[in-house]
Structure 1
Amino acid sequence: MILFLVSYLGGVFTIISPCILPVLPFVFARADRPFLKSGLPLLLGMALTFAGVATLAAVGGGWVVRANEYGRWAAIVLLALFGLTLLIPQFAERLTRPLVSLGSRLSQDASDATAQGGSVWPSFLLGIATGLLWAPCAGPILGLVLTGAALQGASATTSLLLLAYAAGAATSLGLALLIGGRVFAAMKRSLGAGEWIRRALGVAVLAGVAAIALGLDTSFLTRVSLASTASLEQSILDLAKPKPTSSVLMSNDQMAGSGAMMMSAKPAMMAKPGDLPVEGQFPSLNGAVEWLNSPPLTNEALRGKVVLVDFWTYSCINCLRALPYVRAWADKYKDQGLVVIGVHAPEFAFEKNIGNVKQATQDLGVTYPVAIDNDYAIWRAFGNQYWPAHYFIDAKGQLRHHHFGEGEYAESERVIQQLLAERNGNAMPQDVVKVSASGAEAQADMDNVKSPETYVGYDRAENFTSPGGQVKDAAASYAAPSALSLNDWGLSGNWTVSSENASLNQPGGAIAFRFHARDLHLVLGPSADGKPVRFQVLLDGKPPAADHGADIDADGNGVISGQRLYQLVRQSGAVTDHTFEIRFLDPGAQAFAFTFG
């Protein structure tokens, strides 16, 4: 119930977001008409259309996005005709073609028929057209709802959350419409300016149509809007759900069932060894698109074994740092009844490539069974919300313990020992594995991490400071920021920024980031044709020397040979603020996300 209230409030705050500006003229064009017969049907049509299209887009894939684009252009034409009829009343009388007649009917009937107590359907249809064009800025609240929908699949809850968001927007717009109607009525009575007001609204509608057609609602206004409303929305989320005591590196958290990468688990996320009540039955392992290192495993076949299920994805730094312990447990206890199963649930699209996962498991030395959960079937069966996440199953097929995030490895191993002792009927040695990991798998220096995981694609990008902001899904030239504050970053060169990454179109492009951490990692990929991309890393304008990461040399030189996480910086001395820069010598580089340790 709390999440529905949060979604509703997120919608209410759209009235102060610049992203609402292009559709305001469509709404206020009804301000001088009866609210119940004109304004309310328009807002209902807008809310229902947005909720329906957003639900389909979140779970239905690219075909929905393409279909919606056709609908948007039809709506643009329709509302442009509506604006013209407001600006030039004689225009409607001269239109004879079917489409124009429809636009005329919507504009004229919505204005005249509803005022006389007639049908509400013309206004409702105008609301549908407005709903197709409305592109609210995806701040923290809408972002977590949409991400949860994509991971959890289609559901009534998804649609109702989006409808609550749309209802909040309709509420604030409705109040503005009621107030605006009274103002317009007073102006018409006192100034006798009804015709001029009508024409001004026509100009405003056409301006709104032009802004949407030019993409201003999804580019410039989005950047302005997020700067003004994101902190307010985040405050609401923090009030609805207290901040965890550990560091959660993704903003899309468990309220929407979305995935979050975790540095360490908070106490409520684990049980104490020795106190392992039954938490439920072993959820189903059905739904994997492929199994690696093993034929498909079932719950029935695993009965009598102690099972550790590890949810991971191969470019997740938190998963990589937990992996040495999971490998060690699999080796140490495999002859005593432990079966480790890695469930690979992708975060980025390239992690759905089975060839990439096969290569990663080989490179990372993962020899235990891995279920490739590209459709999130096992993820949903467990109700999982985090990478990494460990679930411990006893020999009777009962879920006895869980742990989310990094850390507490000795406690997790003692859980394994206790469950094996129960299975085998004898006590287990209490010694625990000692791991000495290197590269990206080495444990983080959390006392010195002051930079958050940062995504490059526009869906979740934060603190981007190149002049002009990000341009969505189109090639654009970027300039490096003149100065970077801590955790600010920017692009230079010609890039195409998509929802989850930025792709370099021409050689010589760069990314700069002001950070504070011992380690800096960047998830990168080569060009679309797989051709390697050469790059050089600089720290404060100089080669990193002794502070270079595992994937570059002391001069900062490296090569992107595959889609994975690259360790680019490991400071050897005292950890301080630094400006990181990566310069790409070849085109085609794809950058996804920064992580720190």
Structure 2
Amino acid sequence: MVSLILIGLIGGVLTSLSPCIIPVLPLVLAVSAGDKRRPYYVVAGMVVSFAAITLSGSIVLNLLGLPQDTVRWVGIGLLVLVGLGMLIPVLGEWVQAPFDRLPRLHALLTKAQGRGGFVVGLALGAVYVPCAGPVLAAITVAAATGEIDTSIIALTIAFAIGAAIPLSMFALGGNRMSDWFRSHHTAFRRSAGAVVIAMAVLLAVDAPTALQRLVPDWTSSAQQALGNHIIGNQDLESCRKGDPGTPHDCGPVPQLSRLENWINTDQAIDPATSGKVTLVDFWAYACINCQRANEHVVKLYDHYKDYGLDVIGVHAPEYAFERDADNVRKAIVAQHIKYPVAQDNSFATWKNFHNRYWPAHYLADHTGRLRQVHEGEGKYAETERVVRQLLQERNPGIALPNPIEQDEHAITEPRSPETYLGASRSQYRVSGTPPLGYYALQGEWDVNPMDITPRSDGAAVELHYQARWVQLVASGRGTVTVKRADGTEQTFDITGDGTVDIIRKDNGDPELITIAPSPGVHLYSITFG
């Protein structure tokens, strides 16, 4: 959300400072005269016109149904092109040319004359929106989520505020401000071009994602306070703290909103009306905790699906490559998932459940009431016990098969925590030889907000871990060579985006290893089992 607000704000300012806005300035000054409040009405009308284009652009993108990665990279390309056009006038004219051919509805301005300042502002915006077309198009495409939700609304409001700042200065500053801008518009144009290109670079390295991940930590207390005023949320929060082995009444199951790409089913499933006991499971395919939990969810579904149990896997991506539907389908096959799965790329359903973790599951009875909430791994026997109780409530005469999970009383072995490598969430990096639970970087690396990638051969991650199972989250194309403590080496081919098991062993003893990727491979995190 923070990234969209910044994009919208900068885009609005750039729109109002576009060189082709100069012809608008005399009209803004003319229609703003005579009433101290009139400039505000005029600017408000123009801002609404500009913002409406941003909003309608998102609707068009949604109707086109383009893959989100495609939309993102087209938007980044447009931003670079617009930025270069601001720096190089000839290129800027070429970029602007298609928008100059759009009809300018001067009839609207004629009809608006003599009306209120807001109506005049609306007409001005409609007439001169094409002149700022490249900026509007680039901002809309690069920041679009594909749906009209709180993110797009935030983008639109931020865009409106950004556009209002320079226009208000022109309207209130009069001819002196307008003349000063005309004499300095070349410097403004070049500065704006540099800002646009910088914005494109930040988007390309996924810096907005890092910002978005930081926001919940800053605002969690405020979100919790606000959430407590939502109907049913207090019941939901109390269930998070309740005994997972006992059914509770957590209120009605939240709505499954804007899920897409349903897999393993011909139609969407609504736990509120399905008439079955339903486990809603939030997961991400590259999350090792989810992979371990999925083994139990798959087993639970296979054991009780013929007795009235449904499972809905809500796939909410942790990394950008997890948004791709083909990647999710491949993971579903690899993890032997037979129950229905849908993508929650917009995190709309995640927000409805006030979810906070991967994995997390929410168990609803056949009437559509939530009866159990559990976050994280474990408590599999307790979950099965509640499932059996709810199935018997649904059908008191049912004869259920024997339980498949055992109560968890065994002492678990210690293992290293999930280790993020990108700058935004890295907390276990050290210099020199790493102690247990930490890592160090050897050689030259590009450290991005979400990932790291080697600049040349010889770069390696030195990792001191404790676990039986080590899994690397990577993307790109190339190889990763792992050198073990005993001197043995193994090379793994990286041919897609996701996870690769680099170590599986029978004990959880500590070990110091090196992980050396080839150039072109991006490393995101290391997880342990």
The interval holding the TM-score normalised by the smaller chain is 0.5 to 0.7
Determine if contact 1:318/1:388 at 8 Å carries over to the other structure: yes
Matched, 1:276 2:245: no
Counterpart-to-counterpart distance in 1, 2:140 and 2:268:
44
Counterpart-to-counterpart distance in 1, 2:56 and 2:293:
40
Which residue in the other structure is 1:370 paired with?
A: 339
Which residue in the other structure is 1:291 paired with?
A: 264
The structural deviation recorded for 1:204 is 1.7
Any idea what the Cα deviations from partners look like across 1:161-212, whole Å, max 9, x if unmatched? 4234332343355346545766686x67xxxxx8665221233224434664
The structural deviation recorded for 1:320 is 1.5
Counterpart amino acid of 2:417? V
- State how 1:97-112 maps to structure 2 within 5 Å: none
Determine if contact 2:312/2:340 at 8 Å carries over to the other structure: yes
Counterpart-to-counterpart distance in 2, 1:511 and 1:413:
44
Which residue in the other structure is 1:203 paired with?
A: 187
Counterpart-to-counterpart distance in 2, 1:176 and 1:299:
48
After superposition, the Cα gap between the structure-2 partners of 1:24 and 1:239, relative to the gap in structure 1 and judged at 3 Å, is farther
SS of 1:241's partner is helix
Matched, 1:523 2:473: yes
Determine if contact 2:282/2:313 at 8 Å carries over to the other structure: yes
User: Which of 44, 47, 50 is the equivalent residue of 2:48?
Assistant: 44
Q: How many residues are matched?
A: 470
Worse-superposed segment, 404-413 or 28-37? 28-37
Counterpart-to-counterpart distance in 2, 1:207 and 1:595:
43
Which residue in the other structure is 1:403 paired with?
A: 374
After superposition, the Cα gap between the structure-2 partners of 1:536 and 1:243, relative to the gap in structure 1 and judged at 3 Å, is farther
The structural deviation recorded for 1:49 is 2.8
SS of 2:249's partner is coil
Any stretches of 5+ residues in structure 1 without a counterpart? 1-5, 85-90, 92-96, 139-145, 189-193, 245-252, 254-264, 456-460, 466-480, 528-532, 538-542, 547-552
Determine if contact 1:324/1:435 at 8 Å carries over to the other structure: no
Which residue in the other structure is 1:449 paired with?
A: 417
Matched, 1:545 2:513: no
Determine if contact 2:278/2:309 at 8 Å carries over to the other structure: yes
Matched, 1:26 2:18: yes
User: Which of 489, 499, 520 is the equivalent residue of 1:565?
Assistant: 499
Determine if contact 2:12/2:164 at 8 Å carries over to the other structure: no
- State how 1:132-531 maps to structure 2 within 5 Å: 132-134=137-139, 154-155=147-148, 158=149, 161-171=151-161, 174-175=164-165, 178-179=168-169, 197-209=181-193, 212=196, 215-219=197-201, 237-238=219-220, 240-242=222-224, 268-269=239-240, 271-272=242-243, 273-277=245-249, 279-280=251-252, 289-291=262-264, 308=279, 310-327=281-298, 329=300, 334=304, 337=307, 339=309, 341=311, 343=313, 345=315, 347=317, 348-349=322-323, 352-353=326-327, 356-357=330-331, 359-362=333-336, 369-373=338-342, 387-394=358-365, 400-422=371-393, 423-424=395-396, 433=406, 449=417, 451=419, 453=420, 462=424, 508=457, 512=461, 521-524=471-474, 527=477
TM-score by length of 2: 0.60
TM-score by length of 1: 0.54
Which residue in the other structure is 2:124 paired with?
A: 120
Determine if contact 1:510/1:584 at 8 Å carries over to the other structure: yes
Counterpart-to-counterpart distance in 1, 2:286 and 2:406:
24
The structural deviation recorded for 1:360 is 0.8
Counterpart-to-counterpart distance in 2, 1:123 and 1:408:
61
After superposition, the Cα gap between the structure-2 partners of 1:40 and 1:352, relative to the gap in structure 1 and judged at 3 Å, is same
Counterpart-to-counterpart distance in 2, 1:222 and 1:484:
33
Counterpart amino acid of 1:343? G
Determine if contact 2:278/2:363 at 8 Å carries over to the other structure: yes
SS of 1:370's partner is coil
Counterpart amino acid of 1:403? H
SS of 1:566's partner is strand
Any idea what the Cα deviations from partners look like across 1:55-98, whole Å, max 9, x if unmatched? 655784247668868987997799789x89xxxxxx9xxxxx99
Identical-residue share of aligned pairs (%): 17
Any idea what the Cα deviations from partners look like across 1:218-261, whole Å, max 9, x if unmatched? 116988997998799567633531499xxxxxxxx9xxxxxxxx
Counterpart amino acid of 1:237? T
Determine if contact 1:280/1:400 at 8 Å carries over to the other structure: no
The structural deviation recorded for 1:520 is 5.7
